[in-house]
A and B are shown apart, each in its own frame.
Chain A
Amino acid sequence: MSTAARRFEALVLPWLDAGYNLARWLLHDDAAAEDVVQEAALRAFRHLAGLRGEDARPWFLKIVRNACLAWISERRGGREMTGWEDEELEHLQVSAGQLGADPAAALDRTRLQQAIDQAIRELPPALREVLVLRELEGLEYAEIASIAAIPVGTVMSRLSRARERLRTTLALSRNGPAPTH
């Protein structure tokens, strides 16, 4: 194996799952996520020389994230490009009320997973990517800021809005209605 290939195996491949998870959450499609991640990983391989002393995970996730945006803008003719600007986020509808006060008691594990996945899917993409990177990938605010090319303050405010929306969608406020299922 060449030096470049070995470096790629050591630095980038460990984050393939993280890249795929991000792409899958942004694109909602297995095949598209596979294609985009494969192309992003090849791009990472070709530009591996540019990675010096940097942490490979946010570096690779940024490539994946940009590849996802390019895919969305090309394939869908910009149809899904809404929801990436903070100004629009206020106007996007939030669907309400699914879980109630005690989600674990209201639903079995599978249905709870479905409800939470659905609620995340319904988030505007700008909030969704921040939430996925924070909650599912465990990245630091500064890393998310670098990946999404936004200030750290925006990461925090988007995360807070994402959580607020999830609470509304899942009816999880402390005084939320009792589960209706």
Chain B
Amino acid sequence: MDDQDLSRLIQTHATRHQASGRLRAELRARIALETAARRPGSAVRTGFPVWLRLRQVLPAVHWRSALAGGAAGALATWLLILPAARLALDQGQDMAAVLGEQHVHALGPGPLIQVASSDRHTVKPWFQGRLDYAPTVLDLAVDGFPLLGGRVESVNGHATAVLVYEHHRHLVDLYLWPDTHDSGETRTQWRGFKLARWSDGGMQYWAVSDMDATELAHFGAAWRIRRLRP
């Protein structure tokens, strides 16, 4: 059998694997998210002086510009994400915008998960030494929200725990930090992302996702129930 016959045999019979529709859809979604994250019109207005914002963004600019290909765009994007102060942001909509941006950013170039594990006994100790508090880590797999892992993000200079959950291929980022202020329970949205917020006397919780609001409410309810009876 010569080369030509062998080629024909391979071309006729060997499997040519094809990308799934799901891969295509996920890719398009992530491209759309990256595009949204790059858009300079998404500025979060804060009262912080420019010099403070600049000081906060400068270390990040170089890396970001390598990705975005333009220091101006990079600066604009980082001006949106970083400056809003956690303390000054009890006005829910501002916080929604900040966490929305961070959620979008994490879906794109940022590390979505720094510790990948469905085992809360792996995820919780991982936060040791990375945070000045010990976040509660729950796996909500029985409720349909398996834990994928976690990461630490800087929310206005405060190292903040983020737990990542999955639900039918949607991701939920749960931001939690210590704050005894009772903020009640609120829902809001930002550019189509849904945000749910609650507190339990010791911690503030913000869940951000592209799931619909009802599902995110289920997530919040499941968390609060498991928190009491893990």
Contact = CB atoms under 8 A, between A and B. Distances in A.
Interface in B10-52: 10-11, 13-20, 22-24, 26-27, 30-32, 34-35, 38-39
Given A16-B24, A20-B18, A163-B3, A38 B30 contact: yes
A117 B15 contact: yes
A42 B17 contact: no
A26 to B, nearest CB: 11
Interface string A109-137: 10011001100100000000001000110
Given A34-B23, A166-B6, A117 B35 contact: no
Nearest to A160: B3
B19 A17 contact: yes
A173 B1 contact: yes
B69 interface: yes
A113 B15 contact: yes
Interface stretch (A1-9, A51-59, A65-73): A1-9
B27 A136 contact: no
A37 B69 CA distance: 22
**For chain A, which range describes its interface: under 10, 10 to 19, 20 to 34, or 35 or more residues?**
35 or more
Contacts of B10: 116, 120, 131, 135-136, 166
A42 B30 contact: yes
Contact of A113 (B7, B13, B68): B13
Contacts of B24: 13, 16
Interface in B162-186: none
A116 B19 contact: no
Interface in B58-106: 67-69
A46 B23 CA distance: 18
A33 interface: yes
A163 B197 CA distance: 61
Nearest to B39: A2
A13 to B, nearest CB: 8
Contacts of A49: 69
B17 A21 contact: yes
Contacts of B22: 34
Given A20-B17, A20-B19, A34-B23, A174 B1 contact: yes
A41 B27 CA distance: 8
Contacts of A113: 13-15
Interface of A: 1-2, 4-5, 8, 13, 16-17, 19-21, 24-25, 33-34, 37-38, 41-42, 45-46, 49, 103, 109, 112-113, 116-117, 120, 131, 135-136, 163, 166-167, 172-174
Given A38-B30, A166-B6, 20 more contacts: A4-B35, A13-B27, A16-B19, A17-B16, A17-B19, A20-B17, A21-B17, A38-B23, A41-B27, A42-B108, A46-B67, A49-B69, A109-B13, A117-B15, A135-B7, A136-B11, A163-B3, A166-B10, A172-B6, A172-B9
